[in-house]
């Protein structure tokens, strides 16, 4: 895979796109209340909604302490800037993978583009893309959207792109493993098997990290994910 610039736009080359599965697109509800996806006539809780609702007490306390330490307004500003940067980085990658040239010359666009390019430079093992921004649902229990499904190292793989303010320790990214497991289960049920997960992270300083989940690790987190879903469903029953 190579990045090339043609006049005012960047492209990637040497990437095969194969419509192996008939993926559908589910619209998302981000308004009032927890995030849900519209799957048929039902509103299905998102993967991130389930993760947030079943977050450990320790993780909630750590987040509260961070907000207190930096100040609530500063924490909000940091979070909003990271979200905007992540949205732009994802859009750059989506356009490239779709075979569409793209170039945003704003300051924010330039930073996100450099981050996206660093991720592309580390995607050499990706040879075939089955779907980009793929909507997935597991019955009426959860739904979500993964960044990419394709062949990575010749294995069917779920790939998620993440931006970060700083380099991550593995113990900080367990929620990313849960997300991959949730998407893997949904993909297997509706389309076909997934053998591994790849999480591609780039910091705002353009430092790259990659975390891989092999088949055994994926299976472990799929079991753990079902436990989180059951916990979420019990919470909902108790609050009904």
DSSP E strands, 100-166: 126-138, 142-152, 155-164
Query: The domain spanning residue 92 has which CATH number?
Result: 3.90.320
Give residue 102's domain range.
2-239
Report CA torsion sign: 104, 102, 144, 2: negative
Q: What is the full per-residue pLDDT of the chain (240 aa) written as tens digits?
A: 777 777 777 777 778 899 899 999 999 998 777 899 999 999 999 999 999 999 877 777 777 787 888 787 877 887 788 888 888 999 989 988 888 777 777 777 888 989 999 999 999 899 999 999 999 999 999 999 999 999 999 999 999 999 999 999 999 999 999 999 999 999 999 999 999 999 999 999 999 999 999 999 999 999 999 999 999 999 888 765
Residue in the structure block whose two tokens are 């995607």: 123
Distance separating the N- and C-terminal Cα atoms of the chain: 51
How many separate domains does the chain show? Answer: 1
Residue 131: strand pairing partners: 149
Question: In whole angstroms, what separates CA 89 from the centre of its chain?
Answer: 12
pTM above 0.75, yes or no: yes
Q: Are 38 and 131 contacting, i.e. CB atoms less than 8 angstroms apart? A: no
């Amino acid at each position: 895979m190579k990045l090339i610039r043609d006049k005012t736009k960047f492209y990637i080359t040497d990437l095969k796109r194969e419509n192996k599965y008939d993926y559908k697109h589910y619209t998302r509800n981000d308004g009032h209340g927890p995030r849900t996806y519209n799957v048929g006539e039902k509103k299905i809780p998102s993967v991130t909604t389930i993760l947030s609702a079943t977050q450990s007490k320790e993780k909630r306390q750590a987040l509260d302490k961070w907000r207190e330490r930096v100040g609530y307004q500063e924490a909000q500003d940091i979070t909003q800037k990271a979200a905007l940067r992540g949205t732009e980085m994802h859009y750059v990658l989506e356009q490239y993978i779709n075979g569409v040239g793209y170039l945003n010359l704003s300051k924010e666009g330039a930073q996100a583009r450099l981050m996206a390019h660093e991720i592309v430079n580390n995607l050499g093992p990706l040879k075939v893309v089955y779907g980009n921004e793929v909507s997935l649902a597991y019955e009426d229990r959860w739904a979500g959207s993964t960044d990419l499904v394709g062949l990575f190292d010749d294995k069917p793989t779920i790939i998620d792109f993440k931006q970060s303010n700083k380099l991550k320790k593995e113990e900080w990214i367990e929620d990313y493993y849960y997300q991959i497991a949730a998407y893997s289960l949904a993909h297997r049920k509706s389309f076909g098997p997934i053998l591994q997960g790849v999480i591609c992270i780039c910091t705002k300083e353009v430092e790259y990290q990659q975390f891989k989940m092999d088949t055994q690790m994926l299976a472990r987190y799929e079991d753990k994910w079902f436990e989180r879903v059951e916990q979420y469903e019990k919470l909902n029953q108790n609050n009904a």
